[in-house]
Chains A and B, each alone.
Chain A
Amino acid sequence: MRLRYLSAGDRALVVEFGDRVDRGLSELVLRLDMIIRSSPPVGIVETVPTFRSLAIYYDPLLTSRGELQRTIGPLLDRGHNPRAGARLWHVPVCYEGEFAPDLAEVARLTGLTPNKVVALHSGTRFHVYMLGFLPGFPYMGDLPPQLELPRRADPRVHVPAGSISIATSLTAIYPYESPGGWHLIGATPIRMFDPERPEPALFAPGDAVSFQPIDPAAFASIRRAVKNRTYEVECAPIVL
């Protein structure tokens, strides 16, 4: 699929690379985002990378869609540099009991044992495609195909903060209590979003994430440390 420029009103230009959830498309989006952020053309207000497109918000008093398109076109050819700044996060997750209200159902629907579901989920290294829905809410993929399920027919009104969820080819963490239609297979005690931190959202688009099973006792002790601000989520820089 070829590149398309779309307008979302007079303040947003969307550069669309395709129409699928796809790692290759995501890399194109994230690389263009990185290039624009490193030296933003005049009049750009902010950029929002998503699965398959980059939204570029602009101020029509300072620039125009035509001007931006002329500036951005040549930047697209520079996509061969490694993408810097990404990190690999190790997220503690309790996949047991009350922390995993849908684990048994997910096992039944996929024909796997609960242990196998946990092994597949915690054995996969995920890519953070984008953040959206709620502050700090990461859309991560791709799930092993055996775990792919449609959303719940009956969405929950209250999904607890910290819930680890799966739906379609994706997994996510709810930073806040909210309504939600994904299957809940675990929970993490870490804080996904905190406006007091220099980087309020824990993950950035383009980061990698792996999940480490913990028991309820470890969950309780990490949660205490998070409250006291003495817990740091393990992470390491990666180059892609």
Chain B
Amino acid sequence: MTPGLKVLSPGLHTTVQDLGRIGYQDIGVPVSGALDGFGLRLANALVGNPHGTATLEILVSGPVLETAADSARLALVGTGASLGVRGENPRVVGAGQSLTVQRGDIVQIALGRQSACCYLAVEGGIAVPKVLGSASTYVRAALGGLNGRALQRDDVVPLALACASRRTELRAPAPPPAPANQPIRVVLGPQQKYFGKEALATLLGAEFRVSKDADRMGMRLDGPVLRHRRGWDIVSDAIATGSIQVPGSGQPIVLLADHQTTGGYPKIATVISADLPAVGRRRPGDPLRFVSVELEAAEEICREAEREFGKLVAALEPAPKGGNLDLGSLHDENLISGVTTGLE
């Protein structure tokens, strides 16, 4: 039988994603791929995969999966997320380290309040066929992933490996604590000229909030409206991931992984690529501030982020035996009631 992870409960929106479908935007196919590419790559590094291997992207609420393989090495990455295991060796393991589960073990993913998304990598990867060079799921056109859609109860997520290799479990060194509501860096444009000084000052000075209208295509922001100076219809042009589109309502929308390849609203600014993961992690209700940087600085920040990622992967260290999670702090936040049920 094909090794897999059986879906006992799918979570809110769990999809197979990799780093995206590159090279088909000219025929209208969105890039898709992970909202937080950094998280996906780190999860893969922890289980020894090439960094762009297909993983599960888990949004807002996590799935429950049954191990239908002899064994499987897993790693979850996502701030505040945790992975509970029910079986012969029950435990709760925090994000940022690998572990191996055995046939029949039940794996339950819980997200914290700090991140809207987390990534579950499996050693060897998820064995769905690539469509146009990528395993990423694009639900709107039913491309890629598991049958082109989000996971459903009783699906079996096929795995490339029937059992985990013999190797040391790894963990990532604790990241430095990120300041809360760190501003998101943008490069102005490409259509900042459609807006007056006042709208630009509002974009860079005001606090916005992620509205409930947020998905893999984009997040609409609540907050002050951004008024156009020259109308809001432009001749449709290409849309880059991270561009902040302002339709007639003046309510900005940050366009994310599944955004349409082209569109007809002016884009006042574009989130720099190094900060896209931080945007992808924001949850509805979270605050959002923007600060602008010059293009050359954004390119250099991108290169620096890549060097930092290389250092992080080089610094992966053997994980301690058993779970390492600070259960007390999770209980304080009342985050793991679902996970602890059946473990105690």
Closest chain A residue to B267, Cβ basis: A8
Distance in angstroms from A139 CB to nearest chain B CB is: 7
Residue pair B238, A12 in contact (C-beta under 8 Å): yes
Report Cα–Cα, A51/B140, bound state, in Å: 24
Residue pair B298, A9 in contact (C-beta under 8 Å): yes
Report Cα–Cα, A53/B241, bound state, in Å: 17
Dominant secondary structure at the B interface: mixed
Of B22, B189, B236, B272, the residue contacting A46 (CB under 8 A) is B22
Closest chain B residue to A45, Cβ basis: B22
Residue pair A137, B141 in contact (C-beta under 8 Å): no
List of B residues within 8 angstroms of A135 by Cβ: 24, 27-29, 141, 143
> Does A73 interact with chain B (Cβ within 8 Å)?
no
Binary CB contact string for chain B from 236 to 275 against chain A (1 if under 8 A, 0 otherwise): 1111111100000000000000001111000100111110
List of B residues within 8 angstroms of A60 by Cβ: 273, 298-299, 302-303
Distance in angstroms from B236 CB to nearest chain A CB is: 6
Report Cα–Cα, A16/B299, bound state, in Å: 21
Residue pair B27, A61 in contact (C-beta under 8 Å): no
Residue pair A61, B238 in contact (C-beta under 8 Å): no
Residue pair B236, A6 in contact (C-beta under 8 Å): no
Given the known A-B contacts A46-B25, A60-B303, are A132 and B295 also in contact in the complex, defined by CB atoms under 8 Å?
A: no
- Count residues of chain B with CB under 8 A from any CB of chain A: 45
For chain A, residues 137 to 166, give those with C-beta under 8 angstroms from any C-beta of chain B: 137, 139
Of B28, B237, B271, B274, the residue contacting A133 (CB under 8 A) is B28
Residue pair B238, A136 in contact (C-beta under 8 Å): no
Residue pair A130, B236 in contact (C-beta under 8 Å): yes
List of B residues within 8 angstroms of A133 by Cβ: 28, 260-262
Residue pair A200, B272 in contact (C-beta under 8 Å): no
Report Cα–Cα, A98/B7, bound state, in Å: 42
Residue pair A55, B238 in contact (C-beta under 8 Å): yes
Distance in angstroms from B269 CB to nearest chain A CB is: 9
| Known A7-B189, A16-B237; further 6 A-B contacts with Cβ < 8 A | A53-B237, A131-B261, A132-B28, A133-B261, A200-B29, A200-B132
Residues of B whose CB lies within 8 Å of any CB of A are 22-29, 131-132, 140-141, 143, 187, 189-191, 234-243, 260-263, 267, 270-274, 295-296, 298-299, 301-303, 306
Q: List 24 A-B contacts (CB under 8 A).
A: A8-B243, A9-B270, A9-B271, A10-B187, A11-B241, A11-B273, A11-B302, A20-B235, A21-B235, A48-B238, A50-B235, A50-B237, A51-B236, A52-B235, A53-B238, A55-B238, A61-B302, A131-B26, A132-B238, A133-B28, A133-B262, A134-B28, A134-B141, A201-B27
7 shortest interchain CB distances as A-B pairs: A132-B262, A55-B238, A9-B270, A201-B27, A10-B298, A8-B240, A6-B190
